[in-house]
Structure 1
């Protein structure tokens, strides 16, 4: 960037010369924004809602949280993984250092804020953390490699603390450096090979990442098809969180275009209880695509979602990533529509009853509160809202007096075989009584 000419024309006559010079020097020192940036600090508007969802608890990855005393013990564990990694590799430590050093500028450009660490310290951080992730993924997939002295896998609680930290936006490493440091020839594949599933013919960092996310984070049906699409597409995975988002919704060019509604009448849907009272039927979605919520012929289809302790962390960081990286708001819109569906524990109870949600939190009120808080800080753009047409269709259906009356009749008078029989018997009795009355009147006449 060319320097700004900040010399004042007449220093003596300009009483603001010193301040002007200072400001222009600051502007001149600003670096240009990198188009490669994909790792951000979470905006305060989101962080204030739930600080713990964005702050690592067990392990820091990358420079943003490096040096925090809370992670000092884990730093030693990471170095033990590095020692093991170097001990069974074909390359020496200097070869890995050179690989990172050669790409230092590219690595730094992935962080939205300027990383203040000097070159050697920055390279050290990336090296230790990248090798830790590779070893962690490999040992997760191939537990026979884990010995009894493993400081992480020997403690179940520690593993449960590590994996959510790997999905936090501020705790990411650029995916390309993991791929560059990972050589499948150095990693033995167990027999029978788990890698033979799908069309993946050898061990890769994206395969291990997919397995890890599917095992710990996604908690839905296996997504081999999604992985194949990602691998065959031209999309470059940016980091773990980006890969998780792609597995949920598919690569950007493969996601169906949202239906544009220039001026939607509403961007909120009736809650599940209201939909139920209007006679809408619920059905578990037939696909694993998270976004695939649709309403046809009075039936609302929603892909099943499993909710457990760390679901909140995952969705909050995905929403933050979309907001910061100027991505399509697919996950944010999904969170918003689910928030519309759920107002109280009664709504959650219906979702669980019809198999649309598996609540591993145990308490429906707790889940209701969590879902409602997820949408806090999420801004909707009505004309781009993914579910705008769905909201309009559901609202229109619920406002129909015919649908409400029919549903009320069915739910209150024909909801069990005994009630149905009783209502029919009563109707027959009324008809017979009416006929008898008419016949009596005619005979008298």
Structure 2
């Protein structure tokens, strides 16, 4: 009997092993999706550890949490000490913003009921929840139920849309509530939190809310409204003085290709750069160990002039070797510039063969090495600083490239090589010194010319006198 039982136990163990293998295969198929090709790559990530360790508070929402990554934890949780008072403060802060979200959701749902039945927004979000999940780089399995996840995305999407509408000047039913309960400093902080890498929700979800709320005749109408709102907030948050009409038309005017709000800003500041893949579907060549050219004051000493570009972005840097003019986009550095730049860099670190932001940061890191470089660029109209001192501006540029790859785009490497060749000629420095010393000061030039003329006249008179004295029969 024992032997029979033993013979029976072996097939049972094998059956359990086969079932576990089948479950494993099913899990792999679920991860790969139903299509035979690869699933759509995600676009919303947690910041990689090397960048987060430098300044973790720049990646954490300070006022409002959007999306699942920071849900239930509360804003600016990681920048506060761990104690009982902190826990109570975080709970109060989180509940306050959750109340604002519920109010925004109620306003949107009320408007939707004019065109559709009750709970239409929740039903629409539930119908695309699988597409929403694909946009995140991790499984959203920290929610108890699917309904809870749907509710979070519906409330957050309604809140973001209503805040953007109020910021864009669209007079909606939520506008009175917004103006009475959101003071101006809070409004700015809310908008800044909307563009953090870990605080994103898919852009097609925002388009869905707008299409339902306004009963748009087509998806293009919803894209047009959201494009106007994003353009409005981009002009407020981006440190570049202005955006070109071409970048606004190509990026904001075609939102179907954008993934989320931060992706829109990234495409705006890198519009005009080389595409990530060439027409032959080969990877773009990246330059390893890029050239570290001299700082701004040394370039200026070698005769290179700086000229501010407006409108411009991170790929607007150009160099004219014939005129020795370096064109740099005008930028205003404020107290929120570093935070936005770090999130743009963190987002780019997840993209394939795109180093436009990193290339620009490495360029500025070489250009700005100290406060005297900042002072020179401010004088030439390239930089404008609003954070107190030139030392702080220089420190910001020097910190942005820490814990990043030593690579850059071919365009920036070409500029660096031309700058190094110019500085390699000693004659350029002597010519520049002569121009700054004499040609830039008319009175000094006149004095030098007068002294030279007097010297020449004196020499001529002396030679003529000697010639007469030595002439025979004089």
Q: TM-score, normalised by structure 2?
A: 0.78
- After superposition, residues 116-265 of structure 1 pair within 5 angstroms as 116=141, 117=143, 118-142=145-169, 144-145=171-172, 149-150=177-178, 154-183=182-211, 186=214, 203-230=224-251, 236-250=257-271
Greater mean alpha carbon deviation, residues 86-95 or residues 361-370: 86-95
> Is 1:51 matched up with 2:39?
no
* Counterpart selection for 2:299 from 275, 280, 291: 275
* Higher share in helix: 2
Unpaired runs of 5+ residues, structure 1, are 1-10, 12-21, 189-198
CA distance in 1, matches of 2:120, 2:426: 73
Deviations 1:250-303 (A, max 9, x none): 27777998xx88878952222111111111112122542431111112111112
CA distance in 2, matches of 1:435, 1:323: 72
The total of aligned residue pairs comes to: 413
Paired position in structure 1 for 2:387: 361
Paired residue secondary structure (2:396): helix
Paired residue secondary structure (2:434): helix
CA distance in 1, matches of 2:345, 2:262: 10
Cα deviation for residue 327 of structure 1 reads 4.8
> Is 1:73 matched up with 2:96?
yes
The structure whose RCO (Cα within 8 Å, separation 6+) is larger is 1
Paired position in structure 1 for 2:331: 305
Greater mean alpha carbon deviation, residues 333-342 or residues 214-223: 214-223
Cα deviation for residue 178 of structure 1 reads 0.9
**Against the structure 1 CA distance between its residues 266 and 65, is the aligned structure 2 distance closer, same or farther, given a 3 Å change threshold?**
closer
Deviations 1:158-204 (A, max 9, x none): 1121111111100011111111121287289xxxxxxxxxx989952
Check whether the contact 2:359–2:412 (CA below 8 A) recurs between aligned residues.
Answer: yes
Cα deviation for residue 98 of structure 1 reads 1.4
Greater mean alpha carbon deviation, residues 339-348 or residues 266-275: 266-275
CA distance in 2, matches of 1:356, 1:150: 37
Paired residue secondary structure (1:84): helix
Deviations 1:404-443 (A, max 9, x none): 0001112223332222222222322332343344344444
CA distance in 2, matches of 1:264, 1:375: 14
* Counterpart selection for 1:331 from 347, 352, 357: 357
Check whether the contact 2:66–2:199 (CA below 8 A) recurs between aligned residues.
Answer: yes
**Against the structure 1 CA distance between its residues 88 and 155, is the aligned structure 2 distance closer, same or farther, given a 3 Å change threshold?**
same
**Against the structure 1 CA distance between its residues 234 and 313, is the aligned structure 2 distance closer, same or farther, given a 3 Å change threshold?**
closer
Cα deviation for residue 304 of structure 1 reads 0.9
Which has the higher Rg, Structure 1 or Structure 2? 2
**Against the structure 1 CA distance between its residues 227 and 128, is the aligned structure 2 distance closer, same or farther, given a 3 Å change threshold?**
same
Paired residue secondary structure (2:319): strand
> Is 1:428 matched up with 2:456?
no
- After superposition, residues 392-431 of structure 1 pair within 5 angstroms as 392-431=417-456
Paired position in structure 1 for 2:105: 82
Deviations 1:362-398 (A, max 9, x none): 421111111111121221325x443000000011111
Unpaired runs of 5+ residues, structure 2, are 1-9, 11-19, 33-37, 75-89, 279-283
Paired position in structure 2 for 1:196: none
Paired position in structure 2 for 1:293: 317
CA distance in 2, matches of 1:364, 1:373: 14
CA distance in 1, matches of 2:221, 2:131: 28
Deviations 1:63-104 (A, max 9, x none): 000001433321111111111111222334521111111111
Q: TM-score, normalised by structure 1?
A: 0.83
Paired residue secondary structure (1:301): strand
CA distance in 1, matches of 2:272, 2:208: 22
CA distance in 1, matches of 2:272, 2:419: 28
Check whether the contact 1:261–1:389 (CA below 8 A) recurs between aligned residues.
Answer: no
Greater mean alpha carbon deviation, residues 221-230 or residues 34-43: 221-230
Cα RMSD between the aligned structures? 3.3
Check whether the contact 1:233–1:251 (CA below 8 A) recurs between aligned residues.
Answer: no
Greater mean alpha carbon deviation, residues 57-66 or residues 46-55: 46-55
